Amino acid sequence: MTPQDPTPEIPHRNEPARTPDGTAPPALVSFDLDFTAHEIERRAQVLAALGPDWDPIEALRGEEQAYDLLYSGLDGEQQRLYDDLVTAGVLPRRAGSDGRGGSDRCDGSDGSDGDGRAAT
């Protein structure tokens, strides 16, 4: 940079970078963080917040029931769109579903006790 030209010179590709005062920048320093203890604490707090009565199987069953309700009672156009989304891989194909939400049989004739669970 000359007094007549205030634009700084751009270094060539293979030249090392320089700080504004012309010195070489400091070398990079490795910076590592270990979040293992934090993650263990976070998981413990989540389980404590859920409480001792939380049943993950029942939660999943409730979620499946919600999806069954969501995709039930579709009219023709909605059903076509739903089928297109399943075919395109946007929505997962629901096991045991007729594509209209819910099991094909809910009367126990499929070996279940009517709520989708196998009879014991």
26-76 pLDDT, tens per residue? 888 888 899 999 999 999 999 999 999 999 999 999 999 998 888 888 999
Buried b (16+ CB within 10 A) or exposed e, 17-50: eeeeeeeeeeeeeeeeeeeeeeeeeeeeeeeeee
Q: pLDDT band at residue 13, thresholds of 50, 70 and 90?
A: low
User: Percentage of residues in the chain with pLDDT exceeding 90?
Assistant: 41
Residues facing 84 on adjacent strands: none
What's the CA gap between 115 and 101, in Å, rounded? 14
The whole-number average pLDDT for the span 84-104 is 70
The whole-number average pLDDT for the span 74-97 is 87
Q: Is this prediction's pTM over 0.75?
A: no
